[in-house]
Structure 1
């Protein structure tokens, strides 16, 4: 795959997430991750992990989101730059906030502020201060919320080109902090300033218009003006329905219900209560849908992973999965000084079978060979299709002598296969090469495979239909 194809995949991932298609994003991220690993493209790997984390967050699978961020962190530490680090902390904040772990969320924001300031990304720094202010508001720490809001506003003013919406988002938190401090004069002045912002009229910023009406509702209700507060909350409710954020709607309806009770108006209270119950039912339905979506994503990824790691004809591990698994086993074997055996299996005269009986018969031979070899092996061993008519078996915790016996059992099982072409029985034999990791001294699959492949070549040269074992004097037992 060319660099342009990888860039296209990166753009697809970003576009899908922007459109809110989180299941499709996660599947596209899986494909991008596989291609990135294959081509050693670290940028693609980072993009895949980051967008996976953000998508899992959006469907409420926080455990998977943290796993993706952890994987992102591993790559980022070696191959990433400070901008990549900044992206990681942005997502980490969302996860910590979701878990209500405000201490870790604040620590993450502090790092974001440090890195963003260093890189002169003042929009990111401003948002970080604004988020910090929001956390303080949730803790009723209005003095700190005001301080962080003002720092965020200062950063927003440094951003180039100037951004009215960036400043407005911080001002909303500052005004709320003033309300919490009971400074209704300062908060009113700021609310009036925000109300005259032309950017607030844009259809692109409906969320901010919702937040502004919630702010006005808070300003009124904190002064005992419950009817005016309810009116502002009702305008927020009508606006939020246009972009269907059920959780913000739940927050608004909860506040409307509280205000209607304070008004002691039975008619209004009854209507608001009905709306609130309806929203709570919808929230429950959405949560059930998210649970179903999480399960669907897991099943979809399992299928993708299986397809990516399996040979389409036999269902055995393919070469990529075989090599990566064997490398993991070799590392563990080295730590434990454990022996590991590799058997390379090559069907004799397979080209002759294809040429004389056709490729469909050839495919059937490959399938039956794979099944026969699998039956001989133990449960914790592995056999995979290396390519064409060549298979590789890996035996854990086995001696070279045990590997030799296992290879001879597989050879006998293949000779016993009954494959017919019309009335003709097609004889199946195989040549095999056997080697081991020398009690943990070999650390890479390609080294282990090379020694076994040399023995396979020796078996072929000596007449086929035999097993050749590295280190054995009698390497060509006749079958």
Structure 2
């Protein structure tokens, strides 16, 4: 794939998520992930993880969202830049807030503020302060919430290009802090100016939130009818863009206001609307559950393909490396021996040169089948690339690993392929090593040791095993 095509796929993933097409985003994200891993393109991998995390969050699949965030953070720490790390913290906040893990949310926001200031991404700084204020409002720390929101406004004002809606969103928390602190005059003037702001003609969600804010102000003054009327305005706006979860909050408050007013007739009608809304939310949640289940099965299929070699059906290099590293990490605690067997087909180039690549592919497939049958079900075998294969044996001594290698060598020797009415035999050369004698702590180190033994076997005449 050309670099320009890869960039287009990155852009497609982001566009699909922006359009709310979460299943398509996740499918495209895993395709981008697969290609990125093959090409060692870290930016593509990070883009895939980030957009998949946000998509999983949007459909309520929080566990899967965290898995993608963890993978993003791990790769970002090793190969990403500071902007990639900032993206990680942004999405982490949403997940912590969703689970009401406010201590973790605040810790993440502090890091976001520090990093965004360093990068001069002042829109993110402003949002982070605003989100911090929101958490503090939930914790009823109104003075601190006001302080954080005011800092958010300062950074919104220095952000370039100018963004009036960025400043407005921070003001929502400033106004709410003033209301809950009992600053009647300050909050009244601020709320009224926000409700009347012509900017909101283009931002309906923020306009509905302004009316909710106005209702909170009226409720604090025990002006329950006015609070109900403001909530009704918010309801009409929320219905216009079909935000059922915001509507749920509004309808709950409208029911409360009817009780406080003593208007039971209106209260009955609002309660009826509320029940209908809950049924709609239930239907949507069922549809979302079906979507999550569908995505889970599709992703399992995509991941399965991503881990397999297209020609042989064996595991590919990425999976072998990932799994072996997991086993080696565990082995550092348990002291178990992990054996690596590396082998390739002797004189494989001659098969391609004399008979063509199609026949060469048949040779590779035949070797992979014969070796797979000779191994235990829990042994790991994969195609490393070209005509080279890797076998990983867990909890196996170097001597037992050598015995397995001899078994594989014999299985390949017993192969007979017919081409142009002539029988052709196949042999392989092998190298065997384990983590203990090689002192290897990761796949690369272990593979390198076994590959050195393979080289010795080739130098000594092929069709044999080197062991170290």
Please indicate the TM-score interval, normalised by the length of the shorter structure: 0.7 to 0.9
207, 210, 216: which one aligns with 1:209: 207
Alignment RMSD (CA, Å): 3.5
Checking the alignment, whether the CA contact within 8 Å between 1:130 and 1:148 is kept in structure 2 is yes
Deviation digits for residues 59-113 of structure 1 (CA, Å, limit 9, x no counterpart): 2222232333333333333444443333332222212111112222223223333
CA displacement at 1:136 relative to structure 2: 2.6
Corresponding residue for 1:243?
241
Q: Give the whole-Å Cα distance in 1 for the aligned partners of 2:38 and 2:415.
A: 37
Give the 3 Å change call, closer, same or farther, for CA 469–158 of structure 1 in structure 2: closer
- The alpha carbon displacement at 1:199 in A equals 0.8
1:463 is matched with none
Distance change (3 Å), C-alpha of 1:324 and 1:159: closer
| Superposition deviation, residue 240 in structure 1 | 1.3
Write the mapping of 1:436-455 to structure 2, written as runs, cut at 5 A.
Answer: 436-437=433-434, 439-441=437-439, 443-455=445-457
Equivalent residues in 2 for 1:30-69 (5 A)?
Answer: 30-69=30-69
CA contact (8 A) 2:315 2:382 kept: yes
Residue correspondence of structure 1 range 46-445 to structure 2 within 5 A: 46-202=46-202, 205-326=203-324, 329=327, 336=335, 338=337, 340-344=339-343, 346=345, 359=358, 367=365, 369-387=367-385, 391-413=389-411, 429-437=426-434, 439-441=437-439, 443-445=445-447
Distance 2:340 2:238 in 1: 64
* Kept in 2: contact 1:418–1:425 (CA 8 A): no
Distance 1:131 1:357 in 2: 63
**Structure 2 unaligned blocks of 5 or more:** none
Tell whether the 8 Å contact from 1:220 to 1:228 is kept in structure 2 after alignment: yes
- Map of 2:13 onto structure 1: 13
SS at match of 2:232: helix
CA distance in 2, matches of 1:439, 1:220: 76
- SS of the residue aligned with 2:309? coil
| Contact map agreement 1:431 1:456 (CA 8 A) in 2 | no
How big is the shift at 1:241?
Answer: 2.0
Find the residue that maps to 1:166 and give its secondary structure. helix
Residue 256 (structure 1) shift: 1.4
Shift of 1:123: 2.3
Cα pair distance change 1:317/1:453, threshold 3 Å: farther
| Alpha-carbon separation, structure 2, partners of 1:114 and 1:386 | 43
Conserved? CA contact 1:433–1:457, under 8 Å:
no
Identify the range of structure 1 (129-138 vs 27-36) with the bigger mean alpha-carbon deviation.
27-36
User: Is 1:470 aligned with 2:430?
Assistant: no
> 1:248: how far off?
1.0
| Counterpart secondary structure, 1:439 | helix
CA distance in 1, matches of 2:446, 2:124: 44
Question: Structure 1 residues 143 and 328 mapped into 2: Cα distance closer, same or farther (>3 Å)?
Answer: closer
Higher gyration radius (CA): 1
Q: Distance in 2 between matches of 1:147 and 1:184?
A: 18
Q: CA deviation digits over 1:110-166, x for unaligned, max 9?
A: 333333334433322222222222223223333333333333223322233432212
Aligned residues: 462
- Bigger drift between 12-21 and 334-343 goes to 334-343
Distance in 2, Cα, partners of 1:332 & 1:183: 59
Q: Aligned pair in 2 of structure 1 residues 280, 161: CA closer, same or farther (>3 Å)?
A: same
Residue 315 of structure 2 aligns to a residue whose secondary structure is coil
